[in-house]
Structure 1
Amino acid sequence: MRRTAPDTCTGHEETRPGSLRVGATAYQPDGGYCRTSVTGTHRACLRAPDSADFDLALLKWNGRFWAVVAEAASSGATLTHTGPAGYYRYRIQAQTGGGDYTLGYDTP
């Protein structure tokens, strides 16, 4: 995991906006998941309010449940994971504070 400033979360293939209240969880893209057909690198960045603590995780479907394969434990952190083809989704959790967020991500 590499930390970046929250305002540098740009230049990704996909972006998804959302809003969370404290203690809430959202899944992206759009409450669902995406499928990759090749092995490759997933990259993501989360922008959230300075007054909030949002955690970002990449989950992969293993045939029985969604397993965490990478985490970024602060807003503005980047997440990078190289993995096989499969079904993936991002989990965003508002640990403290709340507000609008933007998720930027690239898939293989």
Structure 2
Amino acid sequence: MAKTILVVDDSSIMRKMIKQTLIGAGHTVVGEAKNGDDAVAMFQDLKPELVTMDITMRGMDGIEAAKAILALDADARIVMLSNLDEDKFSRQAAQIGAKGYLNKHKTAEILELIDQL
């Protein structure tokens, strides 16, 4: 089922790649944020069904942004996407209440997880 999604990544190229993947699968990207502060504000304004969140960003990072979003809406669905140490960050993502942690280049797995949420 198609979802409305907020894409959060500090890399404009990565945001574009993620956006193309999601739109190609029938989802609607309602916004793009380049840092955690923007992500929290946009989440409040846009009320997306799902957020894809990078971890390392200037200012408020993805973990802190996810915590802030979940404090605003405990039912928020956030999928952490990164290229960093999967063991360390997947545990952190689970501890804060994210719905999953995936390598941002594993397109098929990202789409599978989104479809399950």
Q: What is the TM-score of this pair, normalised by structure 1?
A: 0.29
Give the structure with the larger strand fraction: 1
Greater relative contact order (Cα < 8 A, sep 6+) = 1
Q: What is the TM-score of this pair, normalised by structure 2?
A: 0.28
